Amino acid sequence: MHIATWNVNSVKARMAIVTNWLQSTQPDVLLLQEIKCETDSFPSFEFEALGYKAYVIGQKSYNGVAILSRHSASDLVYQLPGDSEDAQARYIEATIQGVRIASIYLPNGNPVGADKFTYKLKWMQRLKKHAAELIERENSVVLAGDFNVIPEPIDVYDPKGWEQDALFRPETRAAFREIVNLGYTEAFRALHPDQKDAYTFWDYQAGSWPRNKGLRIDHFLLSPEATDRLISCEIDKNPRDKEKASDHTPVVIELR
């Protein structure tokens, strides 16, 4: 079973690149983040034509996540539990072929010191609580998406320069470790412990892509049973080099 995650930075602006990639890669599941459209205007029909059913929670202009699946999904959850007041569309979860899978768009959190950073840390505490319940309740759990977290210095081109950024602040990294330490395995680093310059995001500005000045912020967290089934985890850099690319590129895992 192949599962992919991709922050597409507007699904409508990215339709050609995403559909071409789906046709060539044909994962069982593609998790999308930052679809930037309302639920009802998601281009479900185009994905159905390629054999994927779409499960979507969107909102106007910002955020929005989706699960595209070649197999039927059940027991959908459309928001991260723990705050019914939170209207931001950043979380969707479903069971596909016995695997509990979430598509996550964790808040960016910048600027540090303002409401946005507080919101990020609270969101991560909610995610920790929910991740603890999932690992207790379910067997194979896959939490994947744009975590907006740089886990370690190896995951950023200039660790010093990013010290004060919400993606790399000690509080952010600690909250991420707390989730992992519930018993999850971060798939890419587990399989590629020493691989440097392995990034999933390159800013549109200042020639970040051609200079490979990137960040590794899109992750797969796997429960113990899912980890036992893990065959591979690879970053596919090809879509980032296309015309009209997203600033993120997809990551793909295979489970046996």
Using CB under 7 A, list all residues that contact DNA: 9-10, 12-14, 36-37, 60-63, 107-108, 110, 116, 204-206, 244
Q: Please, what is the minimum distance in Å from the beta carbon of residue 244 to DNA?
A: 5
CA-nearest of 113, 179, 127, 115 to 151 is 179
Q: Please, what is the minimum distance in Å from the beta carbon of residue 210 to DNA?
A: 12
Residue nearer to DNA on the CB measure, 185 or 250: 250
Q: Please, what is the minimum distance in Å from the beta carbon of residue 108 to DNA?
A: 4
Residue nearer to DNA on the CB measure, 96 or 251: 251
Residue nearer to DNA on the CB measure, 97 or 157: 157
What CA–CA distance (Å, rounded) separates 167 from 162?
8
Main-chain dihedrals φ then ψ at residue 219, nearest 5 degrees: -135, 160
CA-nearest of 180, 176, 183 to 138 is 183
Residue nearer to DNA on the CB measure, 71 or 244: 244
Sequence-separated (6 or more) residues with CB below 8 Å from residue 24: none
Q: Please, what is the minimum distance in Å from the beta carbon of residue 24 to DNA?
A: 20
Q: Please, what is the minimum distance in Å from the beta carbon of residue 12 to DNA?
A: 4
Give all strands of the β-sheet with 141-146 in edge-to-edge order.
Answer: 73-77, 91-96, 99-105, 141-146, 218-222, 185-186
Residue nearer to DNA on the CB measure, 40 or 194: 40
Residue nearer to DNA on the CB measure, 14 or 169: 14
Q: Please, what is the minimum distance in Å from the beta carbon of residue 10 to DNA?
A: 3
What CA–CA distance (Å, rounded) separates 199 from 180?
20
In the chain, alpha helices (H): 15-25, 44-48, 115-137, 170-180, 187-191, 224-228
